[in-house]
Amino acid sequence: MEMVRAVHKEFGTGQMKFMLDVEMRYERSDALRAAKELEALDYFWFEAPLVDYDLAGYRELRRYSSVPIIPAGNAIITPQLIELAMDMGCWTQARVDATVAGGITQTLKIMSLAEARGMTVELQSWGYTTTQAANLHLMLARPNCTFFEQPVPYPAFEYGFANPIRPNREGHVTVSQLPGLGVEVDWPAIEAATILKFEQGGRD
């Protein structure tokens, strides 16, 4: 909270919106105290205050604070469990990553469930270029997603790809027009980093 107050003091008077992700580090009482402070500072959302499995805790947090609450999105990842959590009122918006939630088709089901309830699905894309591309395509295909998430510094997550996703000066990203996910593998870079190969042998 000391960091939150310092950031707000320096930048909180402009047009910027802030979110806080605490990576499931809080107990319920601490999460509620933090949520109350973020509520007063008009935060856009409070991410992963509790472990994903604490659905009762999430529901309680939403009951006693008005700051939007979203989960980490790493554990509750099946459509059935996500639907249950949404209907219990655990989260303001849902959150998953297509690369851990069963792929593009499964994530589209989750996004449809959320859309039917007037909710967004804030897709994770914190990972390498393939992860970013898969989630970006889904964000652009459906109307219920707000932000594209990207890890920084960029180069650490771009190795092995010739056309990584980068924001422009306005902070916007665009999708490649190449087939599939639109990512182009830099095979010489992959070869240079390879330490072990498996080759399929033929039958006698």
Band of pLDDT at residue 15, cut at 50, 70 and 90: confident
Under CATH, what is the fold of the domain 73-194? Answer: TIM Barrel (3.20.20)
Task: Answer whether 123's CB lies under 8 Å from 147's CB.
Answer: no
Which residue reads 């856009």 in tokens?
Answer: 44
Mean pLDDT of 42-49: 96
Q: Give pTM, 2 decimals.
A: 0.89
pLDDT of residue 180: 93
* pLDDT per residue as tens digits for the range 50-82: 999 999 999 999 999 999 999 999 999 999 999
Mean pLDDT of 114-130: 95
What is the Cα gyration radius of the chain? 19
Residues 6+ apart with CB under 8 A from 69: 35, 45, 46, 49, 58, 61, 62, 90, 91, 92
Q: Where are the beta strands (DSSP E) in 58-166?
A: 69-70
Band of pLDDT at residue 203, cut at 50, 70 and 90: low
pLDDT of residue 202: 66
Per-chain mean pLDDT for the chain: 94
pLDDT of residue 16: 85
Q: What percent of the chain stands above pLDDT 90?
A: 90
* pLDDT per residue as tens digits for the range 158-167: 999 999 999 9
* H or E stretch at 20: strand 19-21
Q: Alpha carbon of 9 to those of 6, 21, 67, 80: distances in Å?
A: 5, 19, 19, 42
Does 204 have pLDDT greater than 70?
Answer: no
Enumerate the domain spans of the chain.
1-71, 73-194
